[in-house]
Amino acid sequence: LSGCFRVTRPVKGAVFCVLGLCFLLHCYISYVASPLSPLHPVGSVERPNTSSSSCPLGFYSKEELKPRLQRPLQDPGAPGAHGKPFLSGLMTQQEQQENQKGFNKNQFNQFASDRISLHRDLGKDTRHPDCMKQKFWRCPGLPNTSVIIVFHNEAWSTLLRTVYSVLHTAPAALLTEIILVDDASTDDHLKTALEEHVEKLQIVRVLRQRERKGLITARLMGAQAARGEVLTFLDSHCECFDGWLEPLLARIAEQPSAVVSPKINIIDRNNLWVHKPVPRPQRYSRGNFDWRLKFGWEAVPEEELKRRKNETYPIRTPTFAGGLFAVSKSYFEHIGSYDDQMEFWGGENLEMSFRVWQCGGLLEIIPCSVVGHIFRKKSPHTFPNGSSVITRNLVRLAEVWMDDYKEIFYRLNRVAASIFKMNSFGDVSERRQLREKLRCKNFSWYLNSVYPETYVPDIRPTMYGQLENSGWQCQLDVKKTKKHWEPGQMVTCNNRIEAQYYEYTSKQEIRLSFGIKLCLHADPGKASVCLEWCHPKEKAAPEQAWIFTETNQVMNPSSGKCLAAAGGNVILTSCKSAEDSQKWAFI
């Protein structure tokens, strides 16, 4: 910088002066302005407030964040090593039988799991570079956590691999304990050998729910016993990627009312291949729900992605899958933990999603935290009172959190409607009191502020139900392709119980109910009718507008043609009021 004050050798002075200024600018950028500066660590918008002056600046060192258990060195050729798939090769008849039995019991490949090391690593860290650069303040430091894993007849190898995976990845200093809560398993090995096996691991405890009551009360049991400041819940068939825990705890330190989930990666149920994080993901998913109260995934809207300054920032999500998440223990208690009268499985995730948002909390996905989970083919669990227990849980949450919007749900789920009518969903008065006590906002606020992208059907549409043709006594029907609803599919007329529900909207659309945005679409050229994405505008597209005539015909005004059943098909044809095949009614 002295160059700036040199007058005797102006040229040399100027060069030094520029270099000096550049150096100062570099210092400023890297120490103060850059998001990587110690004053602004990645992901931490601000350093948590502390009144204590004895809290010096500085980050945890790698040494301080070391896990409790070092992984044994892995033979790269071992089955499933580095998260690779298990390849069975030719199997003997006995092996094939074992394989089949394991799959039937768990709805994933237990045979493969049993042959993969309980200590396998998942390979190199392939997260986004921002995640790898992220540092965490040592003071005030990260809160410690109890990891709670509930299970019912989980396969031994997946359960234990979940436990070891936590011990191999979670920093010892932050992991208070792992609590395994058995929801009354009947498998002998789980009943007799678990305590002995985990005793040597010192910080792993087993609690047992005597009677099978389901994952909700089991998690509550774990939460009550937990000694950590944060509760971290995992399913009993997970594997954690390096660095998964710290970002969750850091977000809670920064924002104690945040309920945070990791990004969940798939562990292939057929061969236990763990899908690795991608450094620059093209797609991000968040949780949603449809009006049958089914949880699902959807792409995160551009706006939400733009709100984030870098990869370490949380993604807000309207709902969460509910199995893998961390929450401050005191906030969990404050916000009403769980509805302890929900039974067995299902619904608690939507209940908690609505509750957290409506009562002032935040529900977020932290993309730098990645955990693998085996998504089963279908649920292997039996439910003592049949599968209507799941619907009963949904009715409980609708009754407490959804105000008048619950009617949309009842319209689409007849089992739910009858549970409501017969008043057989138990007492929800305590949960309603909780909503009062916490002065929670209403469901309309939730829809407008948290999930404005969703389609909200009319609470009481003038007409809805299955649309039946009087001539053929058949109902409008589309078979979804595999698991998905796709536009472009032809509409038929069938006599299937599963034939869809439609509703006649105020925009004159005939729209598939339960929130999937598909509308009855006329193609006068081909004289046919299919389902297409509904027009997002105020007015319906001309091909998607329909009027019900006095003679019960369904007419598309722009083409002047009417809907008619013709055998199993639905066609668009000239309107003839006398024809029964053109008469339709909602049933």
Identity of the residue, 241 or 501, whose beta carbon is nearer to ligand UD2 in the bound complex: 241
What distance lies between CA 398 and its chain's CA centroid? 19
Out of Mn ion, ligand UD2, none, which partner does residue 236 contact, by CB within 5 to 8 A per kind? ligand UD2
Choose, by CB under 6 A, the member of 179, 218, 356, 359 that binds ligand UD2: 218
Contact set for ligand UD2, span 145-204 (CB under 6 A): 150-152, 154, 183
Out of ligand UD2, Mn ion, none, which partner does residue 345 contact, by CB within 5 to 8 A per kind? ligand UD2
Q: How far is the CB of 395 from ligand UD2 (least distance, A)?
A: 15
Q: How far is the CB of 287 from ligand UD2 (least distance, A)?
A: 9
Using CA atoms, how far residue 389 sits from 116, 344, 345, 354, 584, in Å, is 35, 8, 8, 20, 36
DSSP 8-state code for residue 8: S
Q: How far is the CB of 183 from Mn ion (least distance, A)?
A: 13
Beta-bridge mates of residue 374: 267
Out of ligand UD2, Mn ion, none, which partner does residue 120 contact, by CB within 5 to 8 A per kind? none
At 386, phi and psi to the nearest 5?
80, 175
Distance, CA of 349 to CA of 387 (rounded, Å) = 17
SS3 for 282-312, per residue? CCCEEEEECCCCCEEEEECCHHHHHCCCCCC
Choose, by CB under 6 A, the member of 122, 155, 170, 215 that binds ligand UD2: 215
Contact 416, 395 (CB under 8 A): yes
Q: How far is the CB of 154 from ligand UD2 (least distance, A)?
A: 5
Contact 147, 198 (CB under 8 A): no
Residue 344, Ramachandran bin (φ over 0: left; ψ between -120 and 50: alpha; else beta): left
Out of Mn ion, ligand UD2, none, which partner does residue 260 contact, by CB within 5 to 8 A per kind? none
Distance, CA of 317 to CA of 228 (rounded, Å) = 26
Strand 467-469 to strand 584-586: parallel, antiparallel, or no bridges (unpaired)? Answer: antiparallel
Distance, CA of 447 to CA of 449 (rounded, Å) = 6
What tokens were used for 279?
Answer: 């450094």
Choose, by CB under 6 A, the member of 79, 318, 346, 461 that binds ligand UD2: 346
Out of Mn ion, ligand UD2, none, which partner does residue 344 contact, by CB within 5 to 8 A per kind? ligand UD2
**Which residues contact residue 482 at a Cβ distance below 8 angstroms, ignoring those fewer than 6 apart?**
none
Contact set for Mn ion, span 279-308 (CB under 5 A): none
Distance, CA of 133 to CA of 126 (rounded, Å) = 12
Identity of the residue, 216 or 570, whose beta carbon is nearer to ligand UD2 in the bound complex: 216
Choose, by CB under 6 A, the member of 321, 359, 368, 562 that binds ligand UD2: 321
Choose, by CB under 5 A, the member of 229, 235, 239, 503 that binds Mn ion: 235
Q: How far is the CB of 82 from Mn ion (least distance, A)?
A: 23
Strand 569-574 to strand 561-566: parallel, antiparallel, or no bridges (unpaired)? Answer: antiparallel
Identity of the residue, 214 or 457, whose beta carbon is nearer to ligand UD2 in the bound complex: 214
Q: Is 183 in the site for Mn ion (CB under 5 A)?
A: no
What tokens were used for 169?
Answer: 């990845």
Strand 528-533 to strand 547-548: parallel, antiparallel, or no bridges (unpaired)? Answer: unpaired
DSSP 8-state code for residue 159: H
Q: How far is the CB of 216 from ligand UD2 (least distance, A)?
A: 7
Contact set for ligand UD2, span 367-426 (CB under 6 A): 373, 379, 381
Choose, by CB under 6 A, the member of 148, 324, 394, 564 that binds ligand UD2: 324
What tokens were used for 265?
Answer: 């990666």
Contact set for ligand UD2, span 250-269 (CB under 6 A): 264
Q: How far is the CB of 531 from Mn ion (least distance, A)?
A: 32
Out of Mn ion, ligand UD2, none, which partner does residue 183 contact, by CB within 5 to 8 A per kind? ligand UD2
Distance, CA of 85 to CA of 267 (rounded, Å) = 9
Q: How far is the CB of 379 from Mn ion (least distance, A)?
A: 9
Identity of the residue, 116 or 215, whose beta carbon is nearer to ligand UD2 in the bound complex: 215
What tokens were used for 220?
Answer: 């509550």
Residues that bind Mn ion (CB under 5 A): 235
Residues that bind ligand UD2 (CB under 6 A): 150-152, 154, 183, 214-215, 218, 235-236, 264, 321-324, 344-346, 348-349, 373, 379, 381
